[in-house]
Structure 1
Amino acid sequence: MDQAYLRAHPEHLPTFLTHQRIRETPVGGGNVSTASRLTLDDGSSLFAKTWPAGEPPEGFFEAEANGLRWLADAGAPIPELLVALPQMIALDWIDTAPATPRAAERLGRALAALHDTPAETFGAPWPGFIGPLPLDNTPHPGPWPAWFAEHRLLPYLKASVDNGALTPSDVDRVDRVVDKLAHTAGDEPPSRTHGDLWPGNILWAADDQPYLIDPAAQGAHRETDLANLHLFGGAPHLDHILSAYQEVHPLAMGWPARVPLHQLHLLLVHTAAFGAAYRTAVVTAATGALQAF
């Protein structure tokens, strides 16, 4: 199988893998999917993701494929999507290198252009996932604070309580954030966003081209993408990313104070999916969010 054949017959890829007709090398792929590098007969490579055991949740890989296409339609730097099947997804392989300030500036400008592309509503036209968890993408007219509280905080707060990751006092703190949002005006229109833009979801290519991967794409507040770039050690050369972004699509006054508020969604996803190891991060973000109102 070469890339030309794969483009014409993407549905045959699982059969070739089953019969070991393609060289497959495991690679790191995160906490959810099983990732591998596939080397084709013409020497080209793919990055493929499959579900670790059995069938994936219904619509799991379709959601990622829809998000990749939606972001690419807005001009975002996305690796080419070559295979999108219910049981797997495969993209063009990107050779990576350390991030440089030049690449960071490119990313900042690319994100500004992406966020300048409107979304029709908050949410998305397809059922979503974020990590291993469902993401309610029911189209919502806004305003943003009500949508964010109802669809991005409360579901993952409940799941984090159900699995024992958060204490009653933690829940009270997040509930206070939700209450503040209910009394907050919001006129930010929905932008096309990546939706899960922690630093690990950026590939830095050897030619200084950054790529976005693993989206939970949605119409959302653009500050949420930028806030998530600060998480888990922060994206490399973050100051260059933000400076280049501001040159193209300036942010509203006071946005740094709102970073913890926007991070709270993704951190609650982590307590809901992975447990109490992320509890302190949730409490810190909720405390910072309350100070931002």
Structure 2
Amino acid sequence: MVETFRKARPDAPPGFFATEAAGLRWIAVPGGPRVAEVLDVGPAHLDLTRVAAARPTPAAARALGRRLAVMHDAGAPAFGALPPGADGPGYFGPLDDPLELVSGAWDDWPSFYAQARLRPVVTQGRERGVLTGRDADAVERVCARLPDLAGAAADEPPARLHGDLWSGNVLWAAGPDGPGTDGVEAVLVDPAAHGGHRECDLAMLALFGAPHLDAILAGYADAHPLAPGWRDRVSLHQLYPLAVHAVLFGGGYVDATRDLLAALGG
């Protein structure tokens, strides 16, 4: 008998759970990471298979890295594209207070990141009284530098992203007991799936400290090495999620966001 885990919110924004379900199905690609299976979805709930927890291991982490590369390489129609079957906008953040994501179709990552992520999040922050006009000016300085900051990775095609791949959205479960697995595998949950830059998912894993991160990155490099200079771009990809935390939670996240804006703005 399959055990069910239910996510529920009676006043969920229209299409919230349908879009999450579409994202889970979209990132479940052959050879990619295991993804929580959608059992049922409605306007106010999402039912998933329950995952039995296991302890992460370096071998399982390296396997996750390889499988993430496969998922990313499955591609997307454009930067900013939502999964097929998404009903309404995407969302990013906690179940009780998610921020709406701008979606659409951009030909290049710098334009997408500026127009669909950085400018909208500073607007959301100003509406909540957390960020200021000075912060908006700092964001514009970063946006002007994005083609240069993207460096050798600027021309990469849109990848199929989980989109909110912090360590809490990677569960570890009993898996196939084959060579190099230790009987453990990663299971992805709670995506904000869209077409984006593959370095973004990896930067999110680093933001709050995924276990065995070095092994994940090594596995990724085995399958699809990152463009030169990628380590220098980690903070660039962390700017948006850090700013979201500033908008939602304030406190030290605001100062950290301002420090990062200053560092990236030149």
The two structures have a TM-score, normalised by structure 1, of: 0.78
The CA distance in 2 between the partners of 1:62 and 1:135, in whole Å, is 15
Higher mean alpha-carbon deviation, 189-198 vs 167-176, is at 167-176
Q: What residue is the counterpart of 1:259 in the other structure? A: 234
The CA distance in 2 between the partners of 1:285 and 1:230, in whole Å, is 15
Q: What residue is the counterpart of 1:47 in the other structure? A: 5
Preserved contact between residue 196 and residue 215 of structure 1 (Cα < 8 Å): yes
Q: What residue is the counterpart of 2:189 in the other structure? A: 213
Amino acid at match of 1:114: M
Q: SS at the partner of 1:205?
A: strand
The CA distance in 2 between the partners of 1:82 and 1:181, in whole Å, is 41
Preserved contact between residue 260 and residue 286 of structure 1 (Cα < 8 Å): no
Preserved contact between residue 118 and residue 189 of structure 1 (Cα < 8 Å): yes
Which fold has the larger relative contact order, with Cα–Cα distance below 8 Å and residues 6 or more apart in sequence? 2
Q: SS at the partner of 1:158?
A: helix
1:172-211 equivalent positions in 2, closer than 5 A: 172-181=137-146, 186-206=154-174, 207-211=183-187
Change (3 A) 1:287 1:204: farther
Q: What residue is the counterpart of 1:157 in the other structure? A: 122
Displacement of 1:204: 0.9
Displacement of 1:167: 4.5
Displacement of 1:83: 1.1
Q: What residue is the counterpart of 2:214 in the other structure? A: 239
| 1:113 counterpart = 2:70 | yes
Q: Which runs of 5+ in 1 are unaligned?
A: 1-41
Displacement of 1:183: 6.6
Q: What residue is the counterpart of 1:93 in the other structure? A: 50
Q: What residue is the counterpart of 1:63 in the other structure? A: 19
Q: SS at the partner of 2:23?
A: helix
Instruction: Provide Cα deviations, 1:202-255, integer angstroms capped at 9, x if missing partner.
Output: 0011341101110000000000111111112x1011000001101110000000
Change (3 A) 1:209 1:183: closer
Preserved contact between residue 198 and residue 229 of structure 1 (Cα < 8 Å): yes
Preserved contact between residue 47 and residue 92 of structure 1 (Cα < 8 Å): yes
The CA distance in 1 between the partners of 2:196 and 2:256, in whole Å, is 22
Displacement of 1:169: 4.3
Q: Which runs of 5+ in 2 are unaligned?
A: 175-182
Preserved contact between residue 100 and residue 208 of structure 1 (Cα < 8 Å): yes
Higher mean alpha-carbon deviation, 278-287 vs 176-185, is at 176-185
Q: What residue is the counterpart of 1:7 in the other structure? A: none
Amino acid at match of 1:230: A
Q: SS at the partner of 2:184?
A: coil
Q: SS at the partner of 2:171?
A: strand
Preserved contact between residue 96 and residue 203 of structure 1 (Cα < 8 Å): yes
Displacement of 1:107: 0.8
Amino acid at match of 1:138: G
Among all aligned residue pairs of Structure 1 and Structure 2, give the percentage whose two residues are the same amino acid. Answer: 47
Displacement of 1:280: 2.4
Instruction: Provide Cα deviations, 1:151-201, integer angstroms capped at 9, x if missing partner.
Output: 011101111122222345444332211121267773111010101111111
Preserved contact between residue 160 and residue 275 of structure 1 (Cα < 8 Å): no
The CA distance in 2 between the partners of 1:288 and 1:49, in whole Å, is 38
**C-alpha root-mean-square deviation of aligned residues, in Å?**
1.9
Displacement of 1:288: 4.2
Displacement of 1:276: 3.7
Instruction: Provide Cα deviations, 1:89-118, integer angstroms capped at 9, x if missing partner.
Output: 011111112211011111101111111112
User: How many equivalent residue pairs?
Assistant: 245
Amino acid at match of 1:80: E
Displacement of 1:277: 4.1
Preserved contact between residue 29 and residue 74 of structure 2 (Cα < 8 Å): no
Q: What residue is the counterpart of 2:112 in the other structure? A: 147
Higher mean alpha-carbon deviation, 280-289 vs 127-136, is at 280-289
Amino acid at match of 2:72: H
Bigger radius of gyration among the two: 1
